[in-house]
Amino acid sequence: MQKIDKNYDQILSTKYKAWVDKLEKDQKKHPESRTYYDDVVMDLYRCQRGVCAYKEMFICIENLYDVNNWQNGQYHIPDQAAFKRTDHFGELEHFDATLKTNQYWLWSNLFMIHDKINNLKSAKPVVAYLKPDLDDYAPEKYFDYDEKTHRFIPNTDIEDPDQIRQIQSMIDEVLFLNHGVVLNERANFIQDIKQKKSFGTSYQIDRFFTAVRWCLDDFS
Chunked in runs of 10, what are the mean pLDDT values of the chain (220 residues)? Answer: 95 97 97 95 97 96 94 89 86 95 97 91 93 96 96 97 98 95 96 92 93 76
For residue 183, the enclosing domain spans: 139-215
Residues 12 and 85 grouped into a single domain: yes
* pLDDT at residue 56, rounded to an integer: 97
Cα–Cα distance between 38 and 105 in angstroms, integer? Answer: 12
* pLDDT at residue 79, rounded to an integer: 79
Q: How many domains does the chain have?
A: 2
* pLDDT at residue 143, rounded to an integer: 97
Residues 19 and 119 grouped into a single domain: yes
Residues 21 and 113 grouped into a single domain: yes
Compute CA 51 distance to the chain's CA centroid, rounded to the nearest angstrom. 6
Residues 118 and 143 grouped into a single domain: no
* pLDDT at residue 97, rounded to an integer: 94
Helix, strand, coil percentages, rounded to 5, for the chain? 45, 10, 45
Cα–Cα distance between 67 and 47 in angstroms, integer? Answer: 11
Residues 102 and 150 grouped into a single domain: no
Residues 141 and 157: beta-carbon distance below 8 Å: no
3-state DSSP assignment of residue 7 = coil
* pLDDT at residue 219, rounded to an integer: 46
Residues 102 and 22 grouped into a single domain: yes
Selection from 39, 21, 42, 38 nearest residue 30 by Cα = 21
* 85, part of any domain: yes
Selection from 214, 217, 216, 210 nearest residue 197 by Cα = 216
Residues paired with residue 90 on neighbouring β-strands, in sequence order: 114
3-state DSSP assignment of residue 52 = coil
* pLDDT at residue 8, rounded to an integer: 95
Residues 65 and 103 grouped into a single domain: yes
Cα–Cα distance between 77 and 84 in angstroms, integer? Answer: 8
Q: What one-character DSSP code corresponds to residue 88?
A: B
What's the predicted TM-score (pTM) here? 0.93
3-state DSSP assignment of residue 60 = strand
* pLDDT at residue 220, rounded to an integer: 41
Cα–Cα distance between 21 and 32 in angstroms, integer? Answer: 16
Residues 99 and 171 grouped into a single domain: no
Q: What one-character DSSP code corresponds to residue 201?
A: -
Last residue of a domain, which of 106, 127, 148?
127
* pLDDT at residue 85, rounded to an integer: 83
Last residue of a domain, which of 107, 127, 147?
127
Cα–Cα distance between 35 and 158 in angstroms, integer? Answer: 45
* 208, part of any domain: yes
